[in-house]
Amino acid sequence: MSRNAESTAFRSALEVIRAVEPRVADAIGAELTDQRESLKLIASENYASPATLLAMGNWFSDKYAEGTVGRRFYAGCQNVDTVEALAAEHARELFGAAHAYVQPHSGIDANLVAFWAVLADRVESPALKKAQVRQVNDLTEADWFALRRELGNQRMLGMSLDAGGHLTHGFRPNISGKMFDQRSYGTDPSTGLIDYDRVAEAAREFKPLILVGGYSAYPRKVNFRILREIADSVGATFMVDMAHFAGLVAGKVFTGDFDPVPHAHIVTTTTHKSLRGPRGGMVLCQPELADQVDRGCPMVLGGPLPHVMAAKAVALAEARRPDFADYAQRIVDNAQALAEGLLRRGAKLVTGGTDNHLVLIDVSGYGLTGRQAEQALLDSGIVTNRNSVPQDPNGAWYTSGIRVGTPALTTRGLGTAEMDQTAELMHTVLTQTTAGANADGTPSKAKYTLDPALADKIARQATDLLAPHPLYPAVDLT
């Protein structure tokens, strides 16, 4: 696509929107400006290509398409079949998977499809059918307990939240915590690394139905071969959530024991994050689970989103190009350069560094909570998110950590030298921010003090750092 074509496409789209609701058009334009001017270090965010973005704004949005390719509950889905089949084909080839299901709307949806596919493969339950006639929110804890027992007393073993696991891996606030009797494995307190012997011990004791690998805030590689051996030893289904690092698998940075696809029975992922596609989810699985996975709609999903599946097909096609492997390697190079820059300046990092796309900073060394650090950095033009660290004394809301990632800045073309400069900007903000106090004089976990002049200065420096690497350079909305 030519530069002129991209500008024309987005400018024309905004003109059409502006004619109906100018405030929406203004917000879209403002978002592009904000993203262009801010150092985006949120590990779960990226920038999709113009082709991927444009694939979502079309007539596929008007279609209902419950079912799967060639087996729809609505007529007139032949074009939806085309894009869904293309997305699944690209996914299978890209990851070397036996089967791909590209309908999930999000990573959480993908995980739900996987959970229910495993359960449906294991049992047929009258209790489940009985429970479906009631609203899920009306079920009591006793109801859930009885249902779990009827379904085989299903149990899930996954990484703990403070060690880097995800809410959807069996934790109570999420529906997965209602579906499963959950237990967590953590990390070694002295190193922050997974202790596979302890995972094996927990599996032998707990005997889970599903062993979950994968993470949202663990800055190291995971040996999926060992986890599969542990799962097999207790008869568990091995599931991997690779939402965060799918791009590193696609780009062949993670191979062998560190590629989950050859080892897991079932793999879930998002299609954004390091994969650089549209917001959505996907499930890859072994042949024996394919039929159950393909029942994701209507099992737990609503109607598929054909316009997003079209965008997934475009993004997955992009990820199959040779330059994506170079991009994936640069993500890791940049993350390691950022970690090294922070360490040289005295920052405390969980596990002391990174093997992947993310770095987890323990900001207690700066005398701050994660919430204070997150906001002070945002004031300074640096977008991050607070995150728990292992054995976090501040809990999951205030936290003691900041999670940063390099997929987005790598997409913009920043390299290792800019990562060192980014470390300097972050360190300056964090050292110049002080924790505040509540009205009664007690220490606050949210309030902080940062000189506005310094914050403005850092924000200008961040913008200057980004200037040689414009975001969507072919898109001019003026």
Q: Which residues are tagged catalytic?
A: 64, 66, 241, 270, 273, 279
For residue 150, what are the CA distances in angstroms to 131, 154, 194, 254, 265? Answer: 11, 9, 33, 39, 23
Note the maximum CA span of the chain: 66
Cα torsion for 402, 407, 409, 413, to the nearest 10°?
160
Contact 100/86 with Cβ under 8 angstroms? no
SS3 445: strand
Q: Which of 191, 252, 202 is nearest to 227 (CA)?
A: 202
Q: How far apart are CA 424 and CA 249, in angstroms?
A: 30
DSSP state of 271: S
Contact 238/284 with Cβ under 8 angstroms? no
Q: Helices H, strands E: what count in the chain?
A: 20, 17
Q: How far apart are CA 73 and CA 257, in angstroms?
A: 41
DSSP readout, 373-407?
Answer: HHHHHHHTTEE-EEE--TT-TTHHHH-SEEEEE-H
H or E element in which residue 167 lies: none
Q: Which of 115, 89, 93 is nearest to 101 (CA)?
A: 89
Residue 224 CB-half CA count within 13 A: 26
Q: How far apart are CA 253 and CA 266, in angstroms?
A: 20
Residue 59 CB-half CA count within 13 A: 4
Q: How open is the CA angle 125-130-136, to the nearest 5 degrees?
A: 105
